[in-house]
Structure 1
């Protein structure tokens, strides 16, 4: 029972991926080791709301689990980990090593954009979504929320602002683009605005 409770605290019940708490735990473990650069990616699906609106939430959940499996396999291949933060937003932490960061991000957008078969009342339906991906290279000792995810979030919104289905690398001094593409404030933004830490 204790093991089950611990799993539930650190994992997303729908996809089985780590949740935000689980990702923070992984990051803390990395930060306690040898200081090193790491890749942090924030992934936001571009047309997920349309899938939900057209085919229903069960189909949307089905799609999320398939995309989660694809992301988990890719992250595992490259020595990293992936989490579902909320809704249709995912994050990944990967070691830099000798990986081509651009190639990694291209692979990630490609696996997400592959067609997926979801089940609706009338039978199976093939749907396709793309993703906007923000990429940040940070020190493993940098704070998770206020540096790593913040930088990746900023880069992700540049990718979304430019039409989606692409990745954008955070560069020093980059700021948020116009926010007309937001579907509303993120939970972490609301908590920060209310005086919380965003955690």
Structure 2
């Protein structure tokens, strides 16, 4: 074999050996990247999408060739603070995770996806496959209110939720329009007695401040952001 061919063969062998040596490291980096991406879009407590993940899921729906109307669901647990006060935050987290699992199951059943937006606030995006909004909404309200078994030797914990639903086009802005309408409907459900749902109707406005439970967590964040700007 001529010297040039020997040199080429040696270079190829070295390149191949180097690639084999680097492959475990490359695979590790890929796994770390995938894990970091998952963490950016998911809630660590429930494994559901977080707000960023829900926005990404909505963007995928909006960009699809088959983009059509969707049902936007906003769910807020009623008076969840006493659960933490009575059972402790660890048990409270167990309840939040259990409720999140129920919400995710309903969303999946209807071909949609669900997210945990903040402490006791969840959301879901569902394709419009039926006009029976009442049946879907009632499923959320009913299943959430089922008792949660924390441990075998403790009393079950029961929480309820106020649920707001809104119809929107998949191409409508999510936070500025779709979730906003569902938010308005959800507060109407609270105003009507909680442990129930309301569907957004054109012209529906936010209930009077006197009937609301106080500033929402995201409203307080916005106010704090303005104060420090």
**Which protein, 1 or 2, shows the higher relative CO under an 8 Å CA cutoff with sep ≥ 6?**
1
| Counterpart in the other structure of 1:84 | 116
Structure 1 residues 185, 87: closer, same or farther in 2, change over 3 A? Answer: same
Give TM-score, length-normalised by structure 1. Answer: 0.91
Q: Does residue 215 of structure 2 align to residue 184 of structure 1?
A: yes
Which structure's residues are more often helix, by fraction?
Answer: 2
How far 1:194 moved relative to its partner? 4.8
> Which structure has greater strand proportion?
1
Shift of 1:184: 2.6
CA–CA distance in structure 2, aligned partners of residues 44 and 138 of structure 1: 20
Q: Deviations over 1:140-188 (max 9, x none)?
A: 1110100011000000000001110110000111111023433433325
Bigger Rg over Cα: 2
Question: Residue 21 of structure 1 aligns with which residue?
Answer: 52
Q: Which residue of 2 aligns with 1:103?
A: 135
- Tell me whether 15-24 or 186-195 shows the greater mean CA deviation: 186-195
* Residues 62 and 119 in structure 1, CA contact (< 8 A), matched pair in contact too: no
Q: State how far apart, in whole Å, the 2-side matches of 1:151 and 1:40 are.
A: 9
Q: Where does structure 1 lack aligned partners over 5 or more consecutive residues?
A: none
Query: How many angstroms apart in 1 are the aligned matches of 2:151 and 2:217?
Result: 29
- How many Å apart are 1:48 and its aligned residue? 1.3
Q: What is the rounded CA distance, in whole Å, between the counterparts of 2:94 and 2:139 in structure 1?
A: 22
State the superposition RMSD in angstroms: 1.7
What CA deviation, in whole Å up to 9, does each residue of 1:90-129 have, x standing for no partner?
Answer: 0000001125111000011011000111249xx4331101
